[in-house]
Amino acid sequence: MTGLEEMLLKKIFKLRKKLILKLKIMRLRRFINKNKLNKNKTDNYYQDGLITCIDFGKKAAKKKMERKIKEIIKPFKYNVSRILNFVEKKNTKIYRLLFVKRFLNLINEKEGFIPPKKGLTALYLNLITRFRLGLKTDEMFIFGIEDPKLDSTLRQFYRWYSYKMDVPGFEQRAINKFNKLYYFNIADKNMTLQDIEDIQEVFTMEMNANMFALEMLNDKIDSKKMLKKMNFAK
């Protein structure tokens, strides 16, 4: 396991531990009361206090979407600038900011893809990106002055494409709570069951994006190894 894989997995398990205490009681109670399983399209598993519903229809759609993303990215030969140029050609703005982390930390956001926002968060984003007033924003990317690293670009591209495909995990309130918990270690003691379920959708999106980025990076490494072997054979 590489250092990057180990770091990402540690983050995933860290968040899982934070959610598990409430989920163990609340979701189990709801599951028992409901006591209904759709055997045709879903299977339910109880593990570590979590009742995880795997929708195999959605799983197939996810694989199909990921194949499409790979088809888009591979002709760019993993070049970050070319990948981001593709995003801009699809009418999604990319903004570059000095001190990007400081600006985004104030609203519990991280650099990369940011889905549409409303209210004070949107007002703030409009001011720092376009120097305009407005209580709504379109989806956008915000990075520092330099191009992001490839792993970050792949992860954020996956999130952007998923948003375009209407995949769950981009509800503003849930993202805000997730970012507070995951990146800034700020727990909301008043979280409801619905809050936790919404956060799980965000968590699933983040995990899928991380795993996809790792898979693409491994593909790139394997391709380089194969090319070296072919050159050696000559």
CA angle (231, 232, 234) in 5-degree steps: 70
Residue 231: inside a domain, yes or no? no
Residue 233: inside a domain, yes or no? no
Q: What is the mean pLDDT of residues 123-148?
A: 96
Q: What is the mean pLDDT of residues 64-73?
A: 95
Residue 69: inside a domain, yes or no? yes
Percent of the chain residues past pLDDT 90, beyond the cut: 52
Cα distance between residue 106 and residue 93, in whole Å = 21
Residue 230: inside a domain, yes or no? no
Strand order in 112-114's β-sheet?
93-96, 140-143, 112-114
| Average pLDDT value over all residues in the chain | 80
Residue span of the structural domain in which 216 resides:
3-225
Residue 234: inside a domain, yes or no? no
Residue 220: inside a domain, yes or no? yes
In the prediction, which pLDDT does 124 show? 97
What is the tally of structural domains in the chain? 1
Are the C-beta atoms of 180 and 190 separated by less than 8 Å? no
Task: Report which of residues 113 and 207 the model is more confident about.
Answer: 113
